[in-house]
């Protein structure tokens, strides 16, 4: 049981970099939130409907947890550098 838990933690640590886009990478005004306008710069094809799906709190901004969840769900992908 302990081996399985350690194995799961190792997998999680190595999987995390795949979703390493952070709010600070998208946030242009420094408020630690991402607006539709800010996200549209990085994702020009992003629709308002998709943004609304990502914004699960409904506050018209995407925070760190919502961005991570959208990446993990495949709603958006990290742009190639």
Global confidence as pTM:
0.74
Instruction: State yes or no: pLDDT of 71 exceeds 60.
Output: yes
Q: Is 11 exposed, middle or buried, given 0-12, 13-18 or 19+ CB atoms closer than 10 A?
A: exposed
Whether the Cβ atoms of residue 39 and residue 62 lie closer than 8 Å to each other:
yes
Instruction: State yes or no: pLDDT of 64 exceeds 90.
Output: yes
Q: ∠ at Cα 64 (66, 58), nearest 5°?
A: 40
Please report whether residue 61 resides in a domain: yes
- For residue 5, give both structure tokens: 């838990």
Give the range of the structural domain holding residue 72, as residue numbers without chain letter. Answer: 21-81
d(CA 62, CA 54): 7
The CATH number given to whatever domain includes residue 35 is: 1.10.238
Q: Is 27 exposed, middle or buried, given 0-12, 13-18 or 19+ CB atoms closer than 10 A?
A: buried
- Position 20 scores a pLDDT of 79
Check residues 56 and 81 and name the one with the higher pLDDT.
56
d(CA 38, CA 1): 44
- The predicted-structure confidence for 10-28, as pLDDT tens digits, reads as follows 444 444 444 579 999 999 9
The total domain count for the chain is 1
- Position 80 scores a pLDDT of 80
């Amino acid at each position: 049981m302990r081996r399985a838990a350690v194995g799961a933690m190792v997998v999680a640590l190595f999987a995390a970099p795949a979703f390493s886009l952070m709010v600070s990478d998208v946030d242009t005004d420094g408020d630690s939130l991402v607006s539709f306008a800010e996200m549209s710069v990085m994702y020009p094809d992003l629709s308002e409907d998709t943004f609304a799906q990502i914004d699960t709190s409904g506050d018209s901004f995407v925070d760190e947890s919502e961005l991570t969840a959208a990446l993990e769900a495949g709603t958006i992908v990290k742009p190639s550098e």
